[in-house]
Structure 1
Amino acid sequence: MIGPELRPLALVTGASRGIGAAVARALAPGHDVLLGGRDSAALHALAVELPGSRPWPVDLTDGRALAEAAGGIERLDVLVHSAGVGLLGTVAETPASTWRRQFEINVVAVAELTRLLLPALRAAGGRVVLLNSGAGLSARAGWASYAASKFALRAFADALRAEEAGNGVRVTSVHPGRVDTQMQREVVAQEGGDYRPESYLRPESVAGAVLLAVTAPDDAALTELVLRPAGP
């Protein structure tokens, strides 16, 4: 007797809220989803909402815990890097600790998790999607360390794409403009501005771009997707 066909497996980091949670919801109809993040309560609540998903709680900056969590994954169809941090400040105001934290989470953790999961991604001919930012395409005053980390993330994606093309692994960078999330509220508060949700992209709109990259036919390599708010 032949058992039911296994559904594709996706891992989404930063799935406890914002864009990551929206991506998990977008992928859930066609994938079993591992919900990555540090807020176990939020991950369990989302898992109840999405049949076929389960929490994958891990601190991405803890190398030993990350290796242990990734070790049980033998085949992975989709890896979405949504976890990240946005700390603002001018070059004159930003200490080395902020630069290190921003790069540790936005670049080093991404690179290490990808490295650990490459055998599983190669086995499935998987898709890697990196949630970047408009700041990964151009930098502006007050965003130096954040933009630098996102430029580095884009370079990582380009190198990974070139290295893994022969192994059937597709790599897409998604560069959204400002998105209506808690992180955006914190950024606007740092900037001292008024928060207007209607001025920003919805997390679901960004998740739609991720789904497009994940479901693109094999003859279409979506290398970069750029989204901007359509409003004034």
Structure 2
Amino acid sequence: MDSQTVMQELEDLGKERTKKIYISNGACEPLFGVATGAMKPIAKKIKINQRLAEDLYATGNYDAMYFAGIIADPNAMTESDYDRWMDEAYFYMLSDYVVAVTLSESDIAQEVADKWISSGDELRMSAGWSCYCWLLGNRQDIEFSESKISTMLDIVKKSIHGSPERTKSAMNNFLYTVGISYLPLHEKAVETAKEVGIVEVKRGKKKPSLLNAYESIQKEVDRGRLGFKRKYVRC
């Protein structure tokens, strides 16, 4: 299947209501408004196809860029490839849910995410923290350095309230994810979340989001989800 065929199939699946929701979250034209679940049948036909993924990502069409992440081959991409994708990721739904997700299934995930976290760029930082959320929620605890994750918790405690808005959100999610999915530091994550308290994330003209990782962790613990790991990261 070539990119033109995929684009036509995506356009046929587009819904005006979904398009409006995406635009309200920061997506820009061109886009069709395809629900992510509606993409699965096409993805099943194509499976993994890095060349096609690159062609689709390069269109600048939000739906095509999202679909590119589903069919990409994470280990076929180099650090410069991920940086190139990040350069085109103009809002958080691309940086955190396409690029970071794809990166999380690669062998260079932590190495690249670490650089993004220290970059000073809002969406790169957001993608870096989000990548660790996807990693911690999927991979076994032994694949991570406890001292490194502990230091990252310290960084969150020290800098979250002064960070850019999208980065704040991803850092808060990191706190929550460590608290639920990384058992060696569950207690430290809970204490850190308690000290951090409510995190206010401004969202343009929308009402600010008030995030509370401590409460979110407690709710999941009460539901018996401590130690949760998802089987797959991508759709």
- So what's the TM-score if we normalise by structure 2? 0.37
Structure with higher RCO (Cα < 8 A, 6+ apart): 1
- So what's the TM-score if we normalise by structure 1? 0.37
